[in-house]
Structure 1
Amino acid sequence: MNDAPRLEPITPANVAMACRIKVAPEQEEFVAPVAVSLAEAYASFPTAWPRLVYVGDEPVAFVMGGFDPDAEIEFFRCGIWRLNVSARHQRAGLGRFAVEAVLGEARQRGSKRATVMWKSGSTGPEGFYRRMGFEPTGQEFAGQVVGAIALD
C-alpha cells in the first residue's frame, strides 16, 4: 500500500465494490454492512455523506458522515454515522484518514462539534474513537454510547 489514501463519492461505477468491503468477523456486531449503510444514505439523501476510501484502484474503507444542522436531536446534527474498514486493511491508518475526512468536511460546513456512536464491547470501536479524541458525552441512544469531539 504505497499509494496515499483518497476519498471518493459513491457512484454507479463503484457501488458494488463498496458493498464488498467487509470488517473482521468479530467486528460485525458493531457496524452495519455497507449495503445497509448505503440504503440509509439513499433514504437520508439530503443529510448523508457516504464516501469510499481508496488506495490505488482498490476501495478499502467506507465512511458515512451525517450533516443536518436542523436535526431535533443535537448529536445527529454533525457526525460519523458509519465506518467500515476492510479486515485486511486495518491498522494501516485508513480509519483515521476516513474520520479526519469527515471532520474536515464538518469544519468546512462550519460545525464546531462532531459526534459518533458506538456499541460497547471488547472488539468494538470505542478505543479507536477515544484515540481519535472523541469523549463519551454521558448520553446513550439505542443502546450505543454517544461520543463527541470539539472541532477547533
Structure 2
Amino acid sequence: MSSAFRLVEITTENVEDACRLSVRPDQQRLVQPVAQSLALAYAFGERAWPRLVVDGEEIVGFLMAFFDVPFDADPPGVTRDGLWRLNVAAGQQGRGVGRFAVEEVARELRRRGRRTLTTSWHVAGNGPEPFYRRLGFRPTGESVEGEIVGELDLGAPGTG
C-alpha cells in the first residue's frame, strides 16, 4: 500500500475532478457515480461524510461514510454508522485504496465512540463481497435495497 494515500474533503476546487472519477466498466452497475453520492451527502448534511482518497495529488478513490442513519427495517430510534459508498478508480484496484478507505472510516467511527462499522454490497461475480469478507465484515442476515448488510466489529471505543 502506498504511504502517500490520504483523505481530503470535497471542495469547490476538486468537486468536478471528484465527479469524473470512474470505476471499471464491469463494476459501474455495482456502485453509484460520485455525483449521485454527493447529492445524497448534500441531502443528509452532517450525517454524511464524503471524502476523496488521493495518492500524491491524484484522486484514486471516493468514500462516503454515514452516521446515525436508520435503515428501513430498523425500529424507531435505532441508527447505524458505516461506509455508504466506496468507488476505487479504474486501474487503481489492488493497490490498497479500498482497504485504506475502510480503515479511515473505521478510524473516524472509533473517534466518534462507535463500535460497529456497517456496509452493504451487491452479490455479483465481480462484486466486492470477497474484499469486505477479507477485511473482517460478517453478513448480518439482513438486506437493504437488495444488498447484503455486513458489519465489522471495531472493538471498544478508543481501541484500534
Q: What TM-score, normalized by structure 2, do the two folds share?
A: 0.89
Per-residue Cα deviation, 1:75-119 (whole angstroms, up to 9, x for no partner): 852010000000111110011001100010000000011110011
Residue 61 (structure 2) aligns with? 61
Cα distance, 1:76–1:15 mapped onto 2, change above 3 Å: farther
Residue 22 (structure 1) aligns with? 22
1:102 alignment partner AA: V
The answer as to whether partners of 2:82 and 2:119 remain within 8 angstroms in 1 is yes
Task: Give 1 or 2: higher helix fraction.
Answer: 1
- Separation (CA, whole Å) in 1 of partners of 2:2 and 2:137: 29
- Gaps (5+ residues) in structure 2? 156-160
Residue 31 (structure 1) aligns with? 31
- Gaps (5+ residues) in structure 1? none
The answer as to whether partners of 1:76 and 1:115 remain within 8 angstroms in 2 is no
Alignment of 1:92 onto 2:95: yes
Residue 151 (structure 2) aligns with? 148
- List structure 1 runs of 4+ shifted beyond 2 angstroms: 71-76
Structure 1 residue corresponding to 2:128, chosen from 120, 125, 128: 125
RMSD: 1.7
Residue 104 (structure 2) aligns with? 101
Q: What TM-score, normalized by structure 1, do the two folds share?
A: 0.94
- Separation (CA, whole Å) in 2 of partners of 1:3 and 1:80: 22
Cα distance, 1:24–1:76 mapped onto 2, change above 3 Å: farther
Percent of aligned positions with the same letter in both sequences? Answer: 50
- Separation (CA, whole Å) in 2 of partners of 1:148 and 1:99: 12
